[in-house]
């Protein structure tokens, strides 16, 4: 009487271990990514005569932020389609 060979389980186990590792890696890095893109606070700045988005962005951005992207972000937070500011206007500024 001949015995049947059992199918090898090594490839299945290896794939399962790699899948588990991938899930753990994604879970570990996702909170870091989300935290890096979330402002620590939103401050309100009242625009004064002569203020520009460039000057305001330069004052509140971090060294790691591209100023042009930060200006775009300020415009997005305030629903502005153009960079024109009016004295007395209140701007929400995300601070990281």
Q: Label residue 27 by pLDDT band (50, 70, 90).
A: confident
pTM of structure:
0.61
For residue 2, the 8-state DSSP code is P
Instruction: For domain 39-95, give the CATH number.
Output: 3.10.350.10
CA distance 39 to 21: 30
- Boundaries of every domain in the chain: 8-38, 39-95
Dihedral of alpha carbons 38, 41, 72, 77, sign: positive
pLDDT digits (tens, 9 = 90+) for 30-77: 655 545 577 889 999 999 999 999 999 999 998 888 999 999 999 999
């Amino acid at each position: 009487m001949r015995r049947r060979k059992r199918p090898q389980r090594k490839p299945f186990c290896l794939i399962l271990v790699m899948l588990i590792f991938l899930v753990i890696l994604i879970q570990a890095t996702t909170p870091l990514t989300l935290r890096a893109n979330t402002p620590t606070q939103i401050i309100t700045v009242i625009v004064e005569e002569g203020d520009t988005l460039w000057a305001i962005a330069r004052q509140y951005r971090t060294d790691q932020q591209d100023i042009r992207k930060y200006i775009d972000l300020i415009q997005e937070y305030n629903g502005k389609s153009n960079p024109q500011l009016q004295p007395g206007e209140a701007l929400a500024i995300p601070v990281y």
